Amino acid sequence: MQTRISLALLMCMSGAAAAQQSMVGYSAANAGRQRELEASAVKRPSPVSASAHSKELSRETHVAGTAAQARTRDYVINQMKKWGIETQVRAYDVWMPHPTAVHVARVSPQPKEFALAEPPVPGDATSSTWQYPTVNGYSGEGDVTAEVVYVNYGLIEDYAQLDSIGVSVKGKIAVALYGRSFRGIKAREAEKHGAVGLLIYSDPQDDGFVVGDVYPDGPMRNSAGVQRGSILNPNGDPSTPGYGSTAGVARLTPDRMQISHIPVVPISYGNATELLKYVRGAAVPRGWQGGLAFRYHVGPGPVKARVAVRDDRATKPMKPIYDTFGMVRGSDFPDELVIVGGHRDGWGPGAADNVSGTVSVLEAARAIAEELKAGVRPRRTIIFATWDAEEWGLLGSTEFVEDDSARLSRDAVAYLNQDVAAQGSRFGGGGSPSLRPTLRDVARVVADPNGQGSVYSEWRRASAVADTTEPAMGDPGGGSDFAGFYNHLGIPIAEWGFGGAGGVYHSQYDSYAWMTKFGDTGFHYHAAAAKVGTAMLLRIANADILPYDYVEFARTVRRYVAPIDSAVGRRHWNAPTTSLRASIDRLEREAAAFNATRDSALAGTVANPTLQHANRSLMQVERALIRPQGLRSRPWFRNLIYVADENNGYANMAMPSINEAIRASDEALTRGEIEDLAGRFDKAAQALVDARSALRSR
Ligand SMILES: [Zn+2]
């Protein structure tokens, strides 16, 4: 106990001392001013204001393409205008059919048409308002009746296990659990294995009564709760793969789009019970028993179900979506862009997903606008974005990135993402390893809402890491709006938020009432997320030299080489990683040399053109790690450091060009990909050399 207290004190003191001494990328004079600015700016986001935005933005279900979602656009734009921020709306027409009818029924035994909607609950005003039909986004159309097969989570390995016990989903309706993979992969695998329809349900063992009390008594999913969500696997409008959905562009017809061809419908565990308890046939393999109170069986049948989905693809599949932008122009480097964004659409009222992220963006915008009024203009341009149709497959951010790729590739310094910024009290963060140290630093300047120190110290305490290590941070894989910036263009990204127990994901019950009762009762964590955003934006926007850390980057990516060595070794291949290791070593060496040159340069004064020259070179480091022709599996994904695993969608894969070659059992390709990536690390290291010579020749 004693030891812990004194250690904490010691850490506090050393932190404070370090704070006064230096700030990465800042001259001593600018660091002092920046400390004052951040201290002032992070006081501005407020729980009262966050709660007011949240209440307004979650007053109705606002699915992309609906009138309600156009109203959230207007709210955000009006707020930003009120604060004196320049605004812009970009509209894109996208192929996005909305359902017109959905049916799920048990045909036998004892025919029963299921009630699919989520019923009103007491104390939750929006639970009795209009809700979006329970159909997965980009479901196929169809009306099928067939026997049911239980497929566990519907993973590739689950189908392999079904094969091994002689059970096929061919011509059947598959019933899968939510979780462990992206639902789009579940839909793809069900269709690939011949299922004619797919029902996906939330098992109580994952986010229902097995985990905690259910809504409205607790935060978890009740027996009628449904997780909606898209099953689109590629990112962006499926009718314009790889380019912006602007007026007049050529579009794929539906038969050429990469979309599902079978009806896919999410159901509650109440309805799943009414099917699964009648399934017989093979006993479930070990580990497949879920949380419902009967023995699960695989089938097929004898229970038969009907799944029917109709949508408006024949009549009006094209819908307008709207991204909003607020802009504060930079004083010294106006072309360099620091962007924060969050998606504005939801599947229901969306208080957590993603009104909380939108509120974080709004409150950071308000804070920085107020500093501007007080006479402090950021040195770089800051953009506050809200994206539409993220929920359908990152459409708004992807179309924007594709539309504006030349400018973003050239000028974007960082993209900061806010998706579910606050639904609990536990901080988590991640992103490109180059921005992780900056995120940790700014988490030190924001007080934790529980009143016991900073967000950073609470984060450390909750993650119980040793004194010598930092809390674990997430890798950018996929699944939110950073993908266009990171995976497609190689722009460094960061994300953060406060998590907690949640069983209302993509449900009508993701509401202001749920948030005030369980998620963030006083909106203090919404404000804290915005404070982190405010400090992060200002820290990057005002730096003399951009605070990327390529030492941490090199050390992080080096860890991915040993698993490649073992995989290659197990296969007895000739695919040495010597060149890859050498180029990562070189990157770390050049990064350390750059940092030393940077710090000594900033001990004096450096003219803006020199800073700009160095910064432009620094911005090329991660750009060098994208490959214009992309991954072999997915050309849109060009960043060779991280990607979402194409067989899972949630799990991440590091160094995907190499690891996908290994997975494809291709020795020569693996050897080639190792050399290819090594060459790109050399280019990245060269960008650091360029940045360093810019500073030395001043
Ligand atoms: Zn979201």
Q: How far apart are alpha carbons 208 and 272 in whole angstroms? A: 13
Tell me the C-alpha to C-alpha distance, in Å, between residue 162 and each of 18, 151, 190, 281, 431: 58, 8, 12, 12, 37
CA of 418 to the centre of ligand 1 (A): 9
**Structure tokens that stand for 298 in this block:** 């695989």
Q: How far apart are alpha carbons 105 and 111 in whole angstroms? A: 7
**Model confidence over 534-548: pLDDT tens digits?**
999 999 999 999 999
Pairing relationship of beta strands 412-417 and 642-644 according to DSSP bridges: unpaired
pLDDT exceeds 50 at position 521? yes
Predicted confidence band at 465 (pLDDT cuts at 50, 70, 90)? confident
Neighbouring CB atoms inside 10 A of 247's CB total 8
Q: How far apart are alpha carbons 407 and 429 in whole angstroms? A: 27
The DSSP string of 101-168 is EEEEEEEESS-EEPP-SPPP-TT-GGGGS----S--BTPPPEEEEEEEEE-TT--HHHHHHHHHTT--
CA of 314 to the centre of ligand 1 (A): 28
**Model confidence over 417-454: pLDDT tens digits?**
999 999 999 999 999 999 999 999 999 999 999 988 99
Q: How far apart are the first and last CA of the chain?
A: 52
- The predicted model gives 48-61 an average pLDDT of 98
CA of 419 to the centre of ligand 1 (A): 5
Question: Given this model, what pLDDT does residue 4 score?
Answer: 35
Provide the mean pLDDT of the chain: 95
- Grouping H, G, I as helix, E, B as strand and the rest as coil, residue 76 is helix
Percent of the chain residues topping a pLDDT of 90: 94
Query: Phi and psi at residue 16, in whole multiples of 5°?
Result: -65, -40
- Grouping H, G, I as helix, E, B as strand and the rest as coil, residue 552 is helix
Q: How far apart are alpha carbons 679 and 594 in whole angstroms? A: 20
pLDDT exceeds 50 at position 17? no
CA of 407 to the centre of ligand 1 (A): 26
Q: DSSP letter at 524?
A: H
Question: Given this model, what pLDDT does residue 698 score?
Answer: 65
Predicted confidence band at 228 (pLDDT cuts at 50, 70, 90)? very high
Asked if residues 166 and 149 have their Cβ atoms less than 8 Å apart, the reply is no
**Model confidence over 141-166: pLDDT tens digits?**
999 999 999 999 999 999 999 999 99
Q: How far apart are alpha carbons 295 and 283 in whole angstroms? A: 9
Please identify which residue in the block is written with the tokens 């120190």: 453
CA of 79 to the centre of ligand 1 (A): 22
User: Which residues place a Cβ less than 5 A from the ion ligand 1?
Assistant: 353-354, 419
Neighbouring CB atoms inside 10 A of 407's CB total 11
**Model confidence over 345-394: pLDDT tens digits?**
999 999 999 999 999 999 999 999 999 999 999 999 999 999 999 999 99
Q: How far apart are alpha carbons 85 and 440 in whole angstroms? A: 28
Q: DSSP letter at 626?
A: B
- The predicted model gives 464-490 an average pLDDT of 92
pTM, two decimals, is: 0.96
Q: How far apart are alpha carbons 114 and 175 in whole angstroms? A: 15
In one-letter notation, the amino acid at residue 193 is H
CA of 392 to the centre of ligand 1 (A): 10
Q: How far apart are alpha carbons 24 and 622 in whole angstroms? A: 19
Give me the helices (H) in 301-430, please. 357-373, 395-403, 405-411
pLDDT exceeds 80 at position 5? no
List CB contacts of 480: < 8 A, sequence separation 6 or more.
343, 390, 394, 417, 419, 495
CA of 479 to the centre of ligand 1 (A): 8
Q: How far apart are alpha carbons 217 and 517 in whole angstroms? A: 9
Asked if residues 401 and 489 have their Cβ atoms less than 8 Å apart, the reply is yes
CA of 220 to the centre of ligand 1 (A): 18
CA of 389 to the centre of ligand 1 (A): 10
pLDDT exceeds 80 at position 2? no
Length of the chain equals: 698
CA of 353 to the centre of ligand 1 (A): 5
Neighbouring CB atoms inside 10 A of 17's CB total 9
Structural element, H or E, at residue 611: helix 608-618
